[in-house]
Amino acid sequence: MVYPLSSPLLELHHLGRDYGSITALSDISLTLPPGRIGLLGPNGAGKSTLLKILLGWLPPSRGTGRFLNVELTAPAHLRRQLRERVGFMPEADALIPGLSGVEYVAFAGELCGLPRRHALRRAHEILHLLEMDEARYRPVESYSTGMRQRVKLAQALVHDPPVLLLDEPTAGLDPAGRDALLQLLEHIATQYNKSIILSTHLLADVERICDQVVVLAAGQVCAAGQVEHLKDPRGNRYRLQTYGEDEVFATQLRLHNITVLDHHRPGAWRVLVPADWKPQHFFKIAHQSQTIIHRLVPDEETLEELFLRLLSANKMKRGEDAGPPSLSTGEK
Ligand SMILES: Nc1ncnc2c1ncn2[C@@H]1O[C@H](COP(=O)(O)OP(=O)(O)OP(=O)(O)O)[C@@H](O)[C@H]1O
C-alpha cells in the first residue's frame, strides 16, 4: 500500500474523548508528517485512548481528524478501512493458544482482508524476516517472551501496512531481547519505508527509533515535533574527558567562572561556561594545568531531560490557568 509521502500522516483538530465524566483527551490539535513518531506521556496521559481512536476502535467525543486520509469521525464501517492500512502490535498478550505461530499470523492476515493462501504465504515470509524459522511451527503458548513479542509484531506486519502502531513493544524483554527487537524495528522502518507510532514509557526506545515525538500529559499535547528541534541547544554546557591532576584543573575552571555540574569519575566533567566562553579556551586552561583533554563535546539535552522539562512546564502552566499548553503543538 503506497500513500503520498507529501500528505500528513495524521491531522487532528481540537480532538477530545471522554469516558463518562472522565476526560481522557481534552483538546488535541496536531499535524504529523510520515516518519517514526514516539508517543510519550505519564500514566493516564491519554496515549492508549489516542491509539484506539487512530485504530478506528473509538470515535472521538469532539473535534475532527484524519489518519492516513481516513476521517476519524466517519461511520464505523468507513473507519474500518484503517485496519487494512495500519498494523497494530498491542501491549497485552493477544495470542490464540492452540495455533502455531504461522497459523496465528496467517489468521491475523485474513482478518485484515488478505485471501487465505496469500495470508499464509505472507505469514511464512514475515516470520522468516523476524528470524522465527523453526519456531513458526510451534504452538504460540510455548513461546518465550521474546518470541511472543516477535509474533505479535509479525501479525502487525502480515498485510504489509504503511504504518505500524506499537504499544510498548519491548515490554518484558531482557536487554539482549530488547536490543534485538529494536534493531528489527529500525530495519523494518528504514528498509521498508514504514511509518511508526511507538507508544512507550522507555525513552531509550524512542531515542533509538524515532525522529519525532508527541508528548501528552493529562489529555493535552505538551509538545510535538522533531526531537532535534525540541531539544534545548544549551550552548553553555560541555562534557570533557581529561587526563591529569583533577584538583589543579578544577582550580583553573573555578578561576574562569566555570561551574562544575558533575564530576563523579576522575577526569569526567560536565560544566557550565560563562556567556563569552569559546571551546578553544578549554585547551588554554588545560595547558596551564598540565592536563590533556581527550574529549570535548557540547552537553546536549537528553530525551529524558527534554521529557521532564516539558512535563514540568505543562504542570506549571496548568497550575496557572486551565488554558491550552504554551509549547508548540504543531497545529497549522
Ligand atoms: N474505558 C475507560 N473507562 C473510563 N476511564 C478510562 C477508560 N480508559 C481510560 N480511561 C481513563 O482515561 C484516562 C487516559 O487513559 P489512557 O489509558 O488513555 O492513558 P495512557 O496514557 O495510555 O496511560 P498508561 O500509560 O497508564 O497506559 C485515564 O484517566 C484513564 O483512567
Give pLDDT, residue 38.
Answer: 95
126 is a domain residue: yes
| Ligand 1 pocket member 47 (CB < 6 A) | yes
Looking at 230, 265, 282, the residue that finishes a domain is 230
Distance from the alpha carbon of residue 25 to the mean position of ligand 1, in angstroms: 9
Of the two residues 298 and 84, the one the predictor is more confident about is 298
pLDDT in tens, 149-164: 999 999 999 999 999 9
Distance from the alpha carbon of residue 13 to the mean position of ligand 1, in angstroms: 21
Using CA positions, which residue lies closest to atom 24 of ligand 1? 43
189 is a domain residue: yes
Do residues 37 and 221 make contact, with C-beta atoms less than 8 angstroms apart? no
Do residues 8 and 32 make contact, with C-beta atoms less than 8 angstroms apart? yes
Looking at 184, 206, 230, the residue that finishes a domain is 230
Report the percent of the chain where pLDDT is more than 90.
64
Q: For a pocket test of ligand 1, which of 17, 25, 47 has the largest count of ligand atoms closer than 8 A to its C-beta?
A: 47
Using CA positions, which residue lies closest to atom 29 of ligand 1? 44
Atom of ligand 1 nearest to the CA of 45: 21
Give pLDDT, residue 80.
Answer: 76
Cα dihedral sign, 136-138-140-143: negative
pLDDT in tens, 164-175: 999 999 988 888
- Tell me: do 259 and 191 sit in the same domain: no
Give pLDDT, residue 303.
Answer: 86
Give pLDDT, residue 254.
Answer: 95
pLDDT in tens, 43-72: 899 999 999 999 888 899 999 999 998 899
26 is a domain residue: yes
Q: How many domains are contained in the chain?
A: 2
What is the number of other CB atoms lying within 10 angstroms of the CB of residue 316?
A: 10
pLDDT in tens, 256-292: 999 999 999 999 999 999 999 999 999 999 999 999 9
Using CA positions, which residue lies closest to atom 6 of ligand 1? 19
- Tell me: do 209 and 245 sit in the same domain: no
Give pLDDT, residue 22.
Answer: 96
| Ligand 1 pocket member 19 (CB < 6 A) | yes
Give pLDDT, residue 6.
Answer: 57
Q: Domain range spanning residue 68?
A: 10-230
Q: Which residues contact 83 (CB under 8 A, 6 or more apart)?
A: 55, 56, 111, 112, 113
- Tell me: do 42 and 16 sit in the same domain: yes
183 is a domain residue: yes
The residue length of the chain stands at 332
Mean pLDDT for 212-239 is 89
Distance from the alpha carbon of residue 54 to the mean position of ligand 1, in angstroms: 15
- Tell me: do 197 and 86 sit in the same domain: yes
327 is a domain residue: no
Mean pLDDT for 316-323 is 60
Query: Which CATH number is 262's domain given?
Result: 3.30.70
Query: What's the CA gap between 91 and 159, in Å, rounded?
Result: 19
Give pLDDT, residue 120.
Answer: 96
- Tell me: do 148 and 129 sit in the same domain: yes
- Tell me: do 162 and 38 sit in the same domain: yes
Using CA positions, which residue lies closest to atom 28 of ligand 1? 44
- Tell me: do 225 and 260 sit in the same domain: no
Using CA positions, which residue lies closest to atom 17 of ligand 1? 48
Distance from the alpha carbon of residue 154 to the mean position of ligand 1, in angstroms: 27
Distance from the alpha carbon of residue 44 to the mean position of ligand 1, in angstroms: 5
- Tell me: do 219 and 242 sit in the same domain: no
Give pLDDT, residue 327.
Answer: 32
- Tell me: do 14 and 145 sit in the same domain: yes
Mean pLDDT for 7-26 is 95
Atom of ligand 1 nearest to the CA of 49: 18
* pLDDT at residue 309 tops 60: yes
Predicted TM-score (pTM) of this structure: 0.81
